[in-house]
Amino acid sequence: MLLHFTKMHGLGNDFMMVDLVTQRAHFTDDQVRRLADRRFGVGFDQLLVVEPPRDPDMDFRYRIYNADGSEVENCGNGARCFARFVRDQRLTHKREIHVETAGGPLVLKVEEDGRIRVDMGEPRFAPASLPFTPEPFEGDTDRVLHRLEVNGESVELGVVSMGNPHAVMRVDAVDEAPVERLGPAIEAHPRFPRRVNVGFMQVVSPHEIRLRVYERGSGETLACGTGACAAVASGIRQGLLESPVSVHLPGGELTIEWHGPGTPLAMTGPAERVFDGRLLLY
């Protein structure tokens, strides 16, 4: 079967975009892994699929697969690319697009300057929302930081769900952060039963952070949109940050706004088209 796709990226977090409104296909885990391969396949951090909505109040269903083939709940950089893609493909002319994801609804707004603002919903801190298993002595849900023993070290983490699960660790200098050493170990830690994305956050000022993210199912990426949202939400909750916050990631910058509990968080940034292609899906 010949399948049309588009390669896009948000700050170097790269995607294969597939329109399954006008085309038919089904991806197995193994196919996703082969397509994600940077030598033998198309190469990407995530495969993003556009489908017709199941809920009639929504415009599209947005499905996300990590490079390891796992289907996940949310992808922030992908959401911005999704908005640009459905308009470029003339699947919609709307500037405000409502999508359903496995992690909940998102509202995507295309601004005059071409950047995309995404209403990411409210961050959730309850351990069960990730899920994360707190230590029995930690008591219930209201802790701002949780202690985790990993590779013989004790680390403190903020845990946040942006529809998908995030752990955020504060570091002095992001360039020296133990991303390769602790990222995979925290990602697969048994206290995160569905694994977790791991952010390493350096606070520069109340309105500025630097961030690297070891993504669940894809490894370290040049940027993680939901990771930026989770880091800012955790930083604001700890009293370290104030909205708006500029997040400097290895691939570029995002702006995150959040005014605290009971309000949705907004992420604004670019979405770039790289090339269109066709492939034989086998």
What residues act catalytically? 75, 224
Minimum Å distance from CB 198 to ligand LBFN2T5F? 10
Instruction: Looking at residues 201 to 240 of the shown chain, list those that interact with ligand LBFN2T5F (rule: CB under 6 A).
Output: 215-218, 221, 224-226
d(C-alpha 207, C-alpha 128), whole Å: 29
User: 202 or 221, CB closer to ligand LBFN2T5F?
Assistant: 221
76 annotated as belonging to a binding site for a ligand: yes
Instruction: Looking at residues 148 to 187 of the shown chain, list those that interact with ligand LBFN2T5F (rule: CB under 6 A).
Output: 164
Interface segment toward ligand LBFN2T5F; rule CB under 6 A; list 64-72, 123-131, 148-156, 257-265: 64-72
> CA 183, 221, 61: angle at the middle one, nearest 5?
110
Among 8, 50, 72, 107, binds ligand LBFN2T5F (CB under 6 A): 72
Q: Residue 24: is it exposed, middle or buried by C-beta count within 10 angstroms (0-12/13-18/19+)?
A: exposed
Neighbours of 207 (CB within 10 A): 12
225 annotated as belonging to a binding site for a ligand: yes
d(C-alpha 155, C-alpha 167), whole Å: 11
Minimum Å distance from CB 156 to ligand LBFN2T5F? 21
Among 6, 77, 101, 255, binds ligand LBFN2T5F (CB under 6 A): 77
Does 270 sit behind a cis peptide bond, omega within 30 degrees of 0 on the bond before it?
A: no
Minimum Å distance from CB 140 to ligand LBFN2T5F? 25
d(C-alpha 131, C-alpha 159), whole Å: 9
Minimum Å distance from CB 221 to ligand LBFN2T5F? 6
User: 122 or 138, CB closer to ligand LBFN2T5F?
Assistant: 122
Bin 249: left if φ > 0, else alpha if -120 < ψ < 50, else beta.
beta
d(C-alpha 172, C-alpha 170), whole Å: 7
Task: State the residue for tokens 């949109």.
Answer: 225
Q: Are 78 and 64 spatial neighbours (Cβ–Cβ below 8 Å)? A: yes
Minimum Å distance from CB 93 to ligand LBFN2T5F? 25
Reported as type and span, the H/E element at residue 235 is helix 225-237
Total residues interacting with ligand LBFN2T5F, rule: CB under 6 A: 20
Three-state DSSP state, 44 = coil
Q: Rule CB under 6 A: which residues touch ligand LBFN2T5F?
A: 13, 45-46, 64, 66, 72, 75-78, 164, 197, 215-218, 221, 224-226
Residue set of the binding site for substrate? 13, 46, 66, 76-77, 164, 197, 215-216, 225-226
